[in-house]
Amino acid sequence: MNESKINTSTFSSTFESLNLFKPIRIAKEFDIKKNFEEFIDIPFNDFHLCLNRFSVNRPLKYFNRNLIIELYKFLGLSPVEFKQALIESNEIINDSIFGLLRKGSFWGKEYGLDISTPKKIEEFETIWHPEYVRLYESIYKKLLLPIIKTIDKREKSNFEKTNEKNQTEKLKEINLNELLKGNNRVIRNSISHGKVSYDYSHIIYNDRHTTEQHFPSDTLRTFDFLVETCNSIVVTYILLVARFYQSDKKIVIMLPLSLKFLFIDGLLSSDYFELFSFYESTVNGSPQLNTICSIKSANRTTHTFYSLNLCYYIFKHVDTNYGRFAISLECGKSIASSIFIDGKKLKHSISSNLSIDASKDVIETSMLWYDSNNIRRKIANWRHILKIQYRIYKIERQEELRQAGFKQFKKRFEIKEIENRSTDKIVRIYAYIWIKDLEGLDEPDFHKLIKYILRHLRKKRFYCTKLGESTFIRKRPKYIWIDLYSQDKNLRFYKRHQNEDYHILKAEWIKNKRKRQPILLKNPDTIIDNIRFNYNRNSKILNIVDNN
């Protein structure tokens, strides 16, 4: 990056021609298409980059495929009404989407739970119940509003003003049943009114008119459904707005701030510089956009450069009316750095095509408390650039190898969890596997992939267990069971929903089959090389011929 050239260049020539963000966009497009390609029915455009967080971050990447198909089709029949409803729901949509993106206390917790001890009950009281109410009240109900408004505009009705029960009945009437997954008013009301009690194995929810008993796993199942439903609604909204953006780039100006945030986040965020939040305020009668970011550098020049780049993209692609930008930069230090940029002077500099060197007065105030030497800064910048370029190289190389006939089994799966189900003498394991990529695999190749996974698992060593205690010697497994899934889901879904369309099959491998008998798959669909298979007939991934 030649700084002398940058200083004499204009904002447009500097930031539009910057090569740093082009490979970032390529990598994001690859991730998004890998997860959402079946839903993208138009040429990929910049607004599709809003899906970046929903393609890489758990639990945001957990979605209900059937809901997206159902809702996209329904709202696609009334695009004008939906666009108006979305714009009219500005503040409510901002609250719901920012609330969904904000890291919750349940993030990263994919284990099962019971209520056999006070500590486990405490986890329901402090995490799952409060988070369910937050998701329901602050996110789910608000995300439904544009849908309800679209129905009202199309049918000349007034369901927006009716109670929640009538709205739910209407959604059932128009066959949006997937939209109601996770919607349990009894659980919500009981938690809100403090009417929850516990016995040894059940949670008892007491609404004013209804009492329901749920196993802890049932409550977590409802919770997980609600998370998927909220994610799927936002994904559907983004897909629909991307259609509007295809024909009218100015649609971004009219959108709620949360969607503008996702748009800029998709364009600029990376593992080096990440946007956290936008919020608007008014200072001296002028609109101010406040942004919170993180950056992996303490260098002042880097902070200034990324701040100006952010403001330029907001000005060019989102809104030109901000009088001031307040940018907070978390850089790993005890106090965040801040920089304030004059929006009016920035607008003048960009419109007049002034050089950056002649536009130093756009920086109103800078509170950049830290600094690092230039050598360190340049090394960090190059490391960031090389990391992105290497990711692009791997993507391109992988595509070349596949076109040449290499299957690359190692890159196609992820082990979500391995359960040790050993006895005191025999090691037995149960693995939950997410198949990340099935592209280019026929049925024989798929069976080779399973053999590769089993070889990988056979190399691992595990402790035998006796009455909950481990022995001191680790051994290789004699029994291996695997469940294969085609969609990345919460681990609890894998353990509960084994007949859904994203579950592919169950397989059992036994070492030395003459001495040992099958345990789980005594009546397999087929046996190939000492591997017993049971296929899920509901799976939409493979068309398996019944061999029996």
Low pLDDT (below 70) residues in the chain: 1-8, 17-20, 466-472, 497-498, 513-515, 540-548
In terms of Cβ atoms closer than 10 Å to its own Cβ (0-12, 13-18, 19+), residue 15 is: buried
Per-residue model confidence (pLDDT) at position 32: 94
Per-residue model confidence (pLDDT) at position 493: 86
Per-residue model confidence (pLDDT) at position 541: 67
Give the integer Cα–Cα distance in Å for 337 and 334. 10
Give the integer Cα–Cα distance in Å for 546 and 211. 45
- Residues 222 and 182: beta-carbon distance below 8 Å: yes
Give the whole-number percent of the chain exceeding pLDDT 70: 94
Taking the CB of residue 5, how many other CB atoms lie within 10 A of it? 10
What are the pLDDT digits (tens) for 351-365?
A: 888 877 777 788 888
Helix axes 79-88, 145-155, angle to 10 degrees: 130
Residue keyed to tokens 């002649």: 358
What's the token pair of residue 161? 């003003």
Per-residue model confidence (pLDDT) at position 544: 42
Domains present along the chain, CATH in parentheses: 1-39+271-406 (no CATH), 50-253 (no CATH), 409-535 (3.10.310)
Give the integer Cα–Cα distance in Å for 513 and 112. 33
Task: Look at the pTM and tell me if it is higher than 0.85.
Answer: yes
What are the pLDDT digits (tens) for 452-486?
A: 999 999 999 888 876 555 566 788 999 999 999 98
DSSP code for 10: B
**Rounded to 5 degrees, what angle do the CA atoms 227, 232, 235 make?**
130
- Residues 342 and 287: beta-carbon distance below 8 Å: no
Beta strand ranges found along 90-224 (DSSP E) = 196-198, 203-206, 211-214
Beta strand ranges found along 258-336 (DSSP E) = 273-283, 286-295, 324-330
Residue keyed to tokens 């284990």: 111
Per-residue model confidence (pLDDT) at position 18: 65
Per-residue model confidence (pLDDT) at position 515: 65
Give the integer Cα–Cα distance in Å for 312 and 354. 13
Give the integer Cα–Cα distance in Å for 100 and 136. 11
Nearest by Cα to 389 from 93, 1, 19: 19
Per-residue model confidence (pLDDT) at position 445: 86
